[in-house]
Amino acid sequence: MSVGTPYRAIFCDLRSDDTIDILPLRDVTVDDYIGKAGSLSGTIPVPDAAMAARVRRIEEGRTSVYLQRGNDLWWGGIVWTSTLQSDDRGVLTLGIQAATFDSYAGRRRIRENLTFSGNDDQLEIVRRLWRHLQTGELLADDDNGDGIPEEPGQAGDVPKVLGGHIGVTYGNEDSPVKRKVSYRDGDETLYSEAIDALAAQEKGFEYHIAVYRDPVTGERVRRLRLGHDRIDTGSTDLVLDRPGSILSYSFPRDATRGGTAARARGGSINDNQAAESRPLASAVVTDTALIKAGYPLIDLSSDHNEVIDPDTLDALARTELAQATGAVVIPEISVRLDDLVPPALLGRTVRLRITDEWWTEGLDARYRIIGVKVSPAQRGRPDTAELYLEEV
């Protein structure tokens, strides 16, 4: 980041969140999404031995990084990889790659038999899975009421798993949907896979780990947000115009990612090792309305190795077809970041108003932001954000 940039890169200890250092970061790109991990990449210049000593304190897998714009946290995650480089002139740099805090669930595996009988709200199951990966406990152990599972030496019982607590807190969102699901020790199921499989089911949910400063204490917060059937942010629309704040836009339509018929495959239910093992499959779900309207038959297929319930597979097939019927469209717009654009963009509804040669009568439509890619200002380039949208 260049001189005068409104951004700061704050490096912290992952588990304690104690600040390690605030370091310059160049060529930065960050993105964040609802329902999947976002990323950060950037380069730290190392001009002398003093800076090298500071940068050497960054340890992959145990260091977190926040990108702060003004007084607001716009991004937070875990430094997973780094690359030390020296060019032909002897100039040293350290390139870093980080992923949002939900990526931690993709580095942890369920190593205990866990069963949810069908009386549990699907959002509570997600919270319990996160509690389990952080403490080894399924139920909240939160004697001081801050939403954080207690660490050894604090109030509360000693967690069964040490070292898993990364400070992710929880809310109290609920949904009317109950789920019956179990996980077996030895299957080595990733927590992220378990959560994604729940979210993908019919009448599922969305998740995102938001980072922000507590308005009272000023402390950094990592909060698991859940929404049935989606996450909504803000009560008013963010109005974006072209000509105006919209710098550019694209509306890609991709029929290779869509379809008109879907089938979901699950795990094998064959207990006879001498016989051929075949996966359980759902019924084929077809969008007959599109077929009658003239679309060809285009097949979609997905694999869910942990699912052995036929009804669940049928629901997964229906959900996949509903999300990818016909041609998939994910509009993208690029906007200049200014004081009118808030940091909490994911889940926000925007009103797009575009008038040009294509939309001569003017486009006036509402979309929801499901992804954000921020590009801090560089020499000759303004501070911008690319917004990925879905129709409301």
* Residues 261 and 300: beta-carbon distance below 8 Å: yes
Question: What stretches of 250-309 show up as alpha helix (H) in DSSP?
Answer: 288-292
Q: If DSSP codes are grouped into helix, strand and coil, which group holds residue 113?
A: coil
Domain boundaries, the chain: 7-101, 108-227, 233-252+330-391, 256-328
The answer as to CATH 2.30.300.10 being correct for domain 233-252+330-391 is yes
Quick one: fold of 108-227? Answer: Phage tail protein beta-alpha-beta fold (3.55.50)
Q: Are 233 and 347 in contact (CB under 8 A)?
A: yes
- Which residues does 339 contact at the CB level (< 8 Å), separation at least 6? none
Distance (Å, whole) CA 383 – CA 125: 39
Structure tokens at 357: 């040669």
64 backbone dihedrals φ, ψ, rounded to 5°: -105, 160
pTM of the model: 0.86
Domain 7-101 homologous superfamily, CATH? Baseplate protein-like domain - beta roll fold (2.30.300.10)
For every one of its 392 residues, what pLDDT tens digit does the chain have, with 9 covering 90 and above? Answer: 443 456 889 999 999 999 999 999 998 999 999 999 999 999 999 999 999 999 999 999 999 999 998 888 999 999 999 999 999 898 999 999 999 999 999 999 999 999 998 888 999 999 999 999 999 998 765 544 444 544 443 444 456 778 999 999 999 999 999 999 999 999 899 999 999 999 988 899 999 999 999 999 999 999 999 999 899 998 889 999 999 889 999 998 888 888 999 999 988 776 666 667 788 899 999 999 989 999 899 999 999 887 888 888 998 999 889 888 777 788 999 998 875 567 789 999 999 999 999 999 999 999 999 999 988 777 667 788 999 999 88
What's the Cα-to-Cα distance from 270 to each of 181, 186, 266, 360, rounded to whole Å?
Answer: 19, 18, 12, 60
7-101 and 233-252+330-391 share one fold: yes
CA pair distance 226, 118, nearest whole angstrom: 19
